[in-house]
Amino acid sequence: MPTTNISSSVNASLAKIVSVIVVPLVSLVFVLAVLLFIWGVAGIIIYRENPEKREEGQRHMLWGVVGMFIMIGTYGIIRLIANTVGVASPV
């Protein structure tokens, strides 16, 4: 029976770490990626006559989309690990 207590306390600790630290951090990075995408769209609209600035805006949009996909993948990995370990999914 001591193994069950240790296992449940480890699961509870991991769930708390993920919900308090990891999920807010991933959410923050996701928001930053969305803002980078919006910044790129604004750059394209504002500097539509300047090809160099438009290209910079396109790069910002591309990296914003890449960042969003990475963060969505991170949410999926967190859920997969939580379900594998048997912890309630924090996301």
Is the pLDDT at 78 greater than 60? The verdict is yes
| Residue matched to tokens 């048997």 | 86
Element (H, E) at 74: helix 51-85
CA–CA dist 22, 78 (Å, integer): 9
CA–CA dist 6, 30 (Å, integer): 34
> What are the structural domain ranges in the chain?
23-85
CA angle 11, 14, 19 (to 5 degrees): 125
Convert the pLDDT of each residue in 79-91 to its tens digit. 888 788 777 666 6
Q: Work out whether the CA dihedral 7, 10, 16, 18 comes out positive or negative.
A: negative
Q: Residue 5: its pLDDT value, please?
A: 67
Q: Residue 1: its pLDDT value, please?
A: 46
The percent of residues in the chain predicted with pLDDT above 90, rounded, is 52
- Name the pTM for this structure: 0.79
